[in-house]
Amino acid sequence: MITLRTSAHPAFLHQGCIYGSDAEFLAMAVPFVLGGLRSDEPVLVATTPANLELLHAEIGQEAEVDYVEREHLGLRPPQRATAIHRYWSRHHSPTASRAVRVLSEPEWTDRSAREVSAWQRMEAALNVVLADTQIWMICPYDTRTISPRIVDDARRTHPECVVGHRVEPSSLFVRPEEFARSHVEPMPPVTAEGLFRFEGDLTAVRRYALRAAAGLLANDDAAAGMFCIAVGEAVEYLDSQGVERAAVWLRPAAGRIVCTLHSDEPLACVPPFLGYRPPDVVREPGDGLWLTNQICEWLDVTSDASGCTIELAMPGDSGGEMKRAERQRLAFGA
């Protein structure tokens, strides 16, 4: 065991905190927040209303801490990753060697198995997409409300775990890419019904997607437009990777609009965390998928010798989601 380290660290620091009582939460959170205040470091706390009340009672609401309920950072994993990166972009100092502290507690209740898997992949992704920041991040996990499996996976996605004032290396930690590969959802079989094939004609596939989405979202032109943008960015990504032939399959499923793009041409390489890094950070292949990821409830990209598949699904309240994402952008800086 080692003492909770100081803020003088050169790169991203990602720690989990598994707690089972209010006292255990405070034993981690209070020194983390107060240490940031003493070091004149920005501190963002996104946790449950109950935990916010506990911290207010210990530290005070007037302290220079950005307290927010966790939903404020986005309701889906890509939105949260973006909000955290933008908070760092807005608050870090390019000349001072100081951390930007973030205490971020995910929401696990009322999540489907697929949603839980997506949030776990995000925890692994943060080790990669935030690696060049000086964020010091602790992610609390409350054993009173989450399953033992989620607790175990927290140890696999965080290199270290905080226990009170101490830090313990996680013996279960696995490489983020390996974790992501073990949490990929199987793609559904693509049927001939509803397929639209194209060969390099992006205008045609966008037109088709807009027409099909408009039929499925007859009372929501804005949602149909956003879905068309998401599909268009995914098609553009395939085109940028040299894919010329593909089929598009749009259908309603469990209250969502789902699109599957499939080609018998495999991709040369599929980075495991496509669509997580904001494109204003660094230009890389697949940057357009960041926008798709912001719009959609899930985005999965797979490829093997038999071909490649991109599947995306839009939540029912896409208009509200985009408005919340825009408020988040304004709050944490573009």
Domain boundary among 183, 207, 223: 183
Q: Which residue has the higher pLDDT, 122 or 297?
A: 122
Question: Would you say 217 and 258 are in contact if contact means Cβ atoms under 8 Å apart?
Answer: no
The CATH number covering residue 310 comes to: 3.30.565.10
pLDDT of 20 reads: 95
- Tokens 């979202």 correspond to 217
| 85 in the same domain as 41 | yes
The CATH number covering residue 31 comes to: 3.40.50
Q: For residue 32, is it within any domain?
A: yes
| 173 in the same domain as 31 | yes
Q: Which residue has the higher pLDDT, 121 or 284?
A: 121
pLDDT of 1 reads: 38
| 165 in the same domain as 37 | yes
d(CA 17, CA 123): 13
Q: Which residue has the higher pLDDT, 317 or 304?
A: 304
| 201 in the same domain as 166 | no
| 221 in the same domain as 101 | no
Q: For residue 256, is it within any domain?
A: yes
Handedness of CA 209, 278, 186, 246 (dihedral sign): positive
Q: For residue 189, is it within any domain?
A: no
Highest mean pLDDT pick, 14-28, 54-68, 84-98, 265-279: 14-28
- Number of domains observed in the structure of the chain: 2
pLDDT of 186 reads: 63
User: Rounded to the nearest 5 degrees, what angle is found at the Cα of 120, between the Cα atoms of 149 and 300?
Assistant: 125
pLDDT of 298 reads: 83
| 127 in the same domain as 49 | yes
Residues of the domain holding 120? 2-183
Question: Would you say 14 and 127 are in contact if contact means Cβ atoms under 8 Å apart?
Answer: yes
Per-residue pLDDT at 200 exceeds 70: no
To the nearest whole number, what is the mean pLDDT of the chain?
Answer: 82
Per-residue pLDDT at 7 exceeds 70: no
Please give the structure tokens belonging to residue 169.
Answer: 């290396």
What average pLDDT does range 281-305 have in this prediction? Answer: 76
Domain boundary among 183, 207, 236: 183
| 277 in the same domain as 207 | yes
d(CA 291, CA 282): 14
Long-range Cβ pairs for the range 167-176 (8 Å, 24+): 167/1, 167/2, 167/3, 167/4, 167/5, 167/15, 168/1, 168/2, 170/16, 176/124, 176/125, 176/127, 176/128, 176/272, 176/273
pLDDT of 250 reads: 84
Domain boundary among 153, 183, 213: 183
Question: Would you say 275 and 125 are in contact if contact means Cβ atoms under 8 Å apart?
Answer: no
Q: How many CA atoms lie within 13 A of 226 on its CB side?
A: 25
| 267 in the same domain as 177 | no
pLDDT of 254 reads: 75
pLDDT of 47 reads: 95
Residue closest to 78 by CA, chosen among 303, 286, 299 = 299
Per-residue pLDDT at 2 exceeds 50: no
Run of H or E including 55: helix 49-59
What average pLDDT does range 133-162 have in this prediction? Answer: 95
Q: For residue 284, is it within any domain?
A: yes
Per-residue pLDDT at 291 exceeds 50: yes
| 45 in the same domain as 122 | yes
Q: For residue 190, is it within any domain?
A: no
d(CA 167, CA 161): 6
Q: Which residue has the higher pLDDT, 126 or 273?
A: 126
pLDDT of 185 reads: 65
| 30 in the same domain as 127 | yes
pTM metric for this prediction: 0.80
- 332 band by pLDDT with thresholds 50, 70 and 90: very low
